[in-house]
Structure 1
Amino acid sequence: MSSALWISKTGLAAQDKAMAAVANNLANVNTVGFKNDRVVFEDLFYSIEVPPGAQADEVNTVPTGIQLGSGERVVGTQKVFTEGNVQTTGQPMDLAISGPGFFQIEGPNGETFYTENGQLQLNAEGMLVNTQGLPLTPAIQLPVGHKNFMVGTDGIVTAILPGGTEPVQLGQITLVNFANPAGLQALGGNLYQESVASGAPVEGVAGQDGLGQIKQGQLEGSNVEVVEAMVSMMAIQRAYEANAKVLDASSGMLKFLNQTV
């Protein structure tokens, strides 16, 4: 069996995964806080028929040897945490992070999730929650009849309470960052979870210790570049076609041997 058949098969499989990643990027071009996925490839092991530097004769050595590769594979997908375009919405509960950092969300079982989607709302108890109804942490609760809800660049939340005239501090939204944000586990729903690769979360005040500032009335859009994604899609398609042609050519060579030998 020709090794080229198996090598081209690995190329087809790898390009198929790459196309799936690009398709997901384009599907989420309008998803608030979405981060672009980048596929990482590596070549597979080599069959060393003649090692470099092997003795060609008593005096000379082989300069390069014979090393035949066995294809490629997808070794990982990497989230690219560059900032997306900021959209001004004018909605007081829309928050964007200008710079590094994640909001903290409390999961249904008490676990902590992380997100860059600051599209917040109020639930029936007046708690700030995300679009899935999961509460922000530290928890922020607004009383019924409040006015002038404000969030400072440092995350301090103030509002005028019923019957009052002066703003009252109701809490502070803190941010977290990670040593390796690309190592976070993506859960869907604009949520991430801590992993061994990401490191432990480091919590701090917005605008301090390398964390970004919070901007009220704005949302961070997806960082997917449509033109770049389309170019990647065309390059992947051509690579897939080339591997398919190698597969066809290898099959033709085997057919020729079967018919003539």
Structure 2
Amino acid sequence: MRAMYTAATGMKAQEMNVEIISNNIANMRTTGYKRQRAEFQDLLYEHVRRIGTQTSDQGNIVPVGVDIGSGVRLVGTPRIMTQGTPTQTDKDLDVAIRGEGYFKIERNDGTYAYTRDGSFERDGQGRLVTANGLLVQPGITIPENASQITINPQGQVSVNIGTSTTATIIGQLTLTRFINKAGLEAIGDNLFVETPASGAPQDGIANTDGMGDILQKYVESSNVEAVTEIANLIAAQRAYEMNGKVVTATDSMLQATTSMMRG
């Protein structure tokens, strides 16, 4: 019976759904994480009786057909790019984006990646880097004798150098946005890279031309909602169980048929 194989596709789809939900829950406390959602499509149909065909020489038309489906498949895991809650940290080099945009990061191979994780540090040369030591672009170097580090909503970085009480601008953080930010590819370490689906990166200044503004001493929390994920997990588990019931019922029917043939 094809029902057994159809139900098997449903079980496989819900198994992958649970894996996606589990990744969301695992990243509830990951800075800048954007949750994923499973999207499904039905598979091919066998058209036993097509809609709209003639049933007689008089031109009678079939109002409804007989279509038997073959199951379901996972077709996408889009990220929900809603704003996470800014969380205060009181750390000078922590910054959060409120609105559109990503921080631009230079990878070790010279290519660029993008992130919403603004928990930055200084390396041994005073350069602004990520927690993994990757350079934040455009490059900003904070002098060794700098104090009172200030990052304004437009991303200007100012410090007091030495004993001076006057702030000196030492760099400018920029933001990058994409036409389709859901088309970015996640590569781990809170980083995304551009793809043909995301469109080309568009660099700009924070708080201008539709870019978000920058909040110093804050980081953006994950946008995962625990209650929603638990509800989705329960629904996926029940769907898996129901498909399992179909497999069991089909097996019982095949067993009954076998018994009848033996009798």
Report the TM range for the smaller structure's normalisation: over 0.9
Alignment of 1:106-185 (within 5 A): 106-185=106-185
1:54, distance to aligned residue in structure 2 (A): 1.1
CA deviation map 1:188-225 (0-9, x unaligned):
11000111111111111101111100000111100000
Could you say which residue in structure 2 is the equivalent of 1:44? Answer: 43
Partners in 1 of 2:43 and 2:211 — Cα distance? 40
Task: State the one-letter code of the partner of 1:29.
Answer: M
Could you say which residue in structure 2 is the equivalent of 1:256? Answer: 256
Task: State the one-letter code of the partner of 2:177.
Answer: N
Alignment of 1:58-137 (within 5 A): 58-59=57-58, 60-137=60-137
CA deviation map 1:122-149 (0-9, x unaligned):
1001011111111100011001010111
Partners in 1 of 2:106 and 2:123 — Cα distance? 14
Could you say which residue in structure 1 is the equivalent of 2:222? Answer: 222
Whether 2:7 is the aligned partner of 1:3: answer no
Partners in 1 of 2:241 and 2:250 — Cα distance? 14
Task: State the one-letter code of the partner of 1:193.
Answer: V
Structure 1: 5+ residue stretches without partners: none
1:258, distance to aligned residue in structure 2 (A): 1.4
Q: Alignment partner of 2:219: what SS?
A: strand
Partners in 2 of 1:225 and 1:164 — Cα distance? 46
1:114, distance to aligned residue in structure 2 (A): 0.3
Could you say which residue in structure 2 is the equivalent of 1:25? Answer: 24
Deviates more, 1:71-80 or 1:48-57: 48-57
Partners in 2 of 1:68 and 1:162 — Cα distance? 77
Task: State the one-letter code of the partner of 2:146.
Answer: H
Partners in 1 of 2:218 and 2:224 — Cα distance? 18
1:58, distance to aligned residue in structure 2 (A): 2.5
Q: Alignment partner of 1:110: what SS?
A: coil
1:163, distance to aligned residue in structure 2 (A): 4.1
Partners in 1 of 2:64 and 2:201 — Cα distance? 48
Could you say which residue in structure 2 is the equivalent of 1:53? Answer: 52
Deviates more, 1:116-125 or 1:53-62: 53-62
Q: Alignment identity in percent?
A: 38
Partners in 1 of 2:208 and 2:41 — Cα distance? 39
The number of residue pairs the alignment matches comes to 260
Partners in 1 of 2:229 and 2:56 — Cα distance? 52
Q: Alignment partner of 2:78: what SS?
A: strand
1:165, distance to aligned residue in structure 2 (A): 2.7
Whether 2:200 is the aligned partner of 1:200: answer yes
Q: Alignment partner of 2:100: what SS?
A: coil
Task: State the one-letter code of the partner of 2:89.
Answer: T
Task: State the one-letter code of the partner of 1:15.
Answer: Q
Partners in 1 of 2:56 and 2:226 — Cα distance? 57
Task: State the one-letter code of the partner of 2:119.
Answer: Q
Partners in 1 of 2:179 and 2:95 — Cα distance? 23
Task: State the one-letter code of the partner of 1:30.
Answer: R
Partners in 1 of 2:84 and 2:12 — Cα distance? 30
Quote the RMSD (CA, aligned, Å). Answer: 0.8
TM-score by length of 2: 0.97
